[in-house]
Amino acid sequence: MRKLNEECGVFGIYDSDGGDVASTIYYGLLALQHRGQESCGIAVSETAAPKPRVRTIKGMGLVNETFDAESLSSLNGNIGVGHVRYSTAGASTRENAQPLVLNYIKGTLALAHNGNLVNALELRKDLEKNGSIFQTTIDTEVIAYHIARERVNSRSVEEAVGKAADKLRGSYSLIVMSPRKLVAVRDPFGFKPLCIGKRDSAYIIASESCALDTIGAEFIRDVRPGEIVTVTQAGLTSDCSRCRSEEEQARCVFEYIYFARPDSHIDGISVYASRVMAGRFLAKDSPVDADLIVGVPESGNAAALGYSIESGIPYGTAFVKNSYVGRTFISPKQSARETGVQIKLNVLSDVVRGKRLVLIDDSIVRGTTSDRIVSMLKEKGAREVHMRVSSPPFLWPCYFGTDVPEREELIAYNRSVEEIRQAIGADSLAYLKNERLPQIAGGRSVCTGCFDGRYPMETPSINIHNEIEDDY
């Protein structure tokens, strides 16, 4: 069940043989649609043109609602970037849709960004004091202005990207299209995923490896945290001067738990295997006598399978999911959100009747959907519902791109596990232990700030998202 808002997805491609790339970007964005459903866009250019012109189409809604065969055919060019967005900072408007296209003295830049800058407000106000006029409320525009300013006195666009990156604090996986280059950079902590692929004469850079699979590209490698990758007619080059040691990195562990598609690999780790492992850990650490293991679709299914494998309790399907309705969290009123759960999920009463169930979900945020799901199972005859959660309790907000609410809105804030159990109506409740988080990420360093309040960098003392909206 979608209870947390997703992030954004980015996709870039450079075909050195001059082939049009718009349709490839389209299919890549379809593969990344799970990362954002509010808006999307594609920008392309022709590297061989004497004066390359950027063609852009952006719109609100899903990729297949924004583009059709006619619109894609108008996007001629062999270099391009695409973006799917969910807003964690900046309003959900067409003006804030990406890629962001910026015309400046050196030409044109098109940017697609996944992440959140914790110093966005500070950087923005400094730019405004020097005469910059902003057209959006997104931190991507702040990044674009800094790249443009640095480019004036830099030998190349990748050098300008590096100088701008030195000023940024927070999370960013960024793809920049200049007239004849594609440049990608990942923040030094590696919060957000980014990978490189190749298909014939084209290099591709994407948020997740599943997008490479979709377009038939070969996975080359992940972009290293802090690395700047440049694609030109001559091929691919890399600058790792800003890379840090593994111990200094801090990947978002929720990519493995929930955000990423299960068929993706992030930094060498299978997302599906991570979720199965989380379920196995839950079975080891929090066993329970039961008749059937079920997952909340879709994100709880792999962990449910892992719990079943480890415990020996059969795995089953308790829900039929209607994929053609909106996400429950976008409903403005709680009553509507709860109704959305019923519309989106229906219980297979023949499966659950008289059974002691272990219910696996990826997280409990506010607790409202969990409450309703437990009630639905018991209304259909489940004798017991024991809930197991494949993440620790959310106790702190996220500043790096996951839309975790303020602490007061979190059900785990000032509540014990037993109090949460009572609130959602489960017969027992247990969470994944914090010490398991690095293990499900293959021993990689991860950010656990939303679970324990220990962030990898200093965080703002104010709600930067609200501040941006209030001021702009």
Active centre residues (catalytic)? 8
What share of residues in the chain are helix, strand, coil (percent, to 5)?
35, 25, 40
Phi, psi angle pair for 212, to nearest 5°: -65, -40
Q: How many residues does the chain have?
A: 472
Please tell me what DSSP assigns to residue 315.
Answer: B
Candidates 319, 310, 275; CA nearest to 290 is 310
Query: 10 Å Cβ neighbour count for 426?
Result: 24
CA distance 349 to 163: 59
Candidates 112, 225, 109; CA nearest to 158 is 109
CA distance 167 to 172: 12
Candidates 329, 372, 364; CA nearest to 87 is 329
Q: Which helix (H) or strand (E) holds 275?
A: helix 271-285
Beta strands in 319-469 (DSSP E): 319-321, 345-347, 356-361, 384-389, 428-431, 446-447
For every residue of 112-179, DSSP letters joined together read EEES-BTTHHHHHHHHHHTT---S-SSHHHHHHHHHHHHHHTSSSHHHHHHHHHTT--B--EEEEEET
Strands 218-222 and 195-199: antiparallel
Phi, psi angle pair for 470, to nearest 5°: -70, -40
Q: How many H-runs (helices) and E-runs (strands) does the chain carry?
A: 17, 23
Is residue 153 packed enough to be buried (19+ CB in 10 Å), middle (13-18) or exposed (0-12)? exposed
CA distance 179 to 166: 23
